[in-house]
A and B are shown apart, each in its own frame.
Chain A
Amino acid sequence: SQELEQSPQSLIVQEGKNLTINCTSSKTLYGLYWYKQKYGEGLIFLMMLQKGGEEKSHEKITAKLDEKKQQSSLHITASQPSHAGIYLCGAVPRTGNQFYFGTGTSLTVIP
């Protein structure tokens, strides 16, 4: 079973709209990462969250990690076609060294 569930699975938005992607873990996490992948290409690191309640922003993207360190959200403000791609959360659990990815969210931004 997937240990990191993302929602929604896919998202189609009009350019300029705001959107939120969620990532939920069944376990308490040590660290939570957000990556973006263009179709068929490598992954681009976006942000890393480690502390409960932490929030980070870069350009128009904001990521938050809840106090329990089991849920994260990625919020994009005023989306642009360049934001299109697959967004993946990744995590290191509190116990064990395994790094694993979430189920992914496919984002399409319509001009």
Chain B
Amino acid sequence: DTEVTQTPKHLVMGMTNKKSLKCEQHMGHRAMYWYKQKAKKPPELMFVYSYEKLSINESVPSRFSPECPNSSLLNLHLHALQPEDSALYLCASSKSLRRTASYNEQFFGPGTRLTVL
């Protein structure tokens, strides 16, 4: 199984809602990532988890709260978002954060298209 799955595919939420994005992989990867991608822009790294511990937080606002309950699952909890947070949210995983290129190769999920009204 070389697949990263993300649910839901699409999400529409109001600014007062609380919702969660889910990402799952069963490749035994120990590093998992959240990216945000606006239209016609490259993905921007938000968070990196390594061995279920938060390793990198790219100064993301606290209305985004990541969680890694186990080595296969990564969640992104959303609360009090703004319309400018509307974007494609991509999850990825890699073997680890070891400094060899093969270990850094990331496998991406199809993304969740988020619209904040």
Q: A42 and B90: CB pair below 8 A?
A: yes
Residue B60 lies at the interface, judged by CB distance under 8 Å to chain A: no
Number of interface residues of B (CB under 8 A): 28
Interface string of B84-117 (1 = CB under 8 A from A): 0000101010000101111011111111010000
Range class of the A interface residue count? 20 to 34
Q: A92 and B104: CB pair below 8 A?
A: yes
Sort A-B residue pairs by CB-CB distance and give the 6 closest, nearest first. A31-B101, A101-B42, A43-B108, A50-B101, A42-B108, A42-B110
Q: B88 and A31: CB pair below 8 A?
A: no
Q: A104-B41, A104-B42 are in contact. Are A92 and B101 (CB under 8 A)?
A: yes
Q: B88 and A40: CB pair below 8 A?
A: yes
Q: A30-B99, A30-B101, A92-B99 are in contact. Are A45 and B88 (CB under 8 A)?
A: no
Q: B41 and A99: CB pair below 8 A?
A: no
Q: A45 and B107: CB pair below 8 A?
A: yes
Residue A21 lies at the interface, judged by CB distance under 8 Å to chain B: no
Q: A45-B106, A48-B105 are in contact. Are A99 and B45 (CB under 8 A)?
A: yes
**Residues 15-44 of A contacting B (Cβ, < 8 Å):** 30-31, 33, 35, 40-44
Residue A88 lies at the interface, judged by CB distance under 8 Å to chain B: yes
Residue A82 lies at the interface, judged by CB distance under 8 Å to chain B: no
Interface string of A67-111 (1 = CB under 8 A from B): 000000000000000000000101010000111111110100000
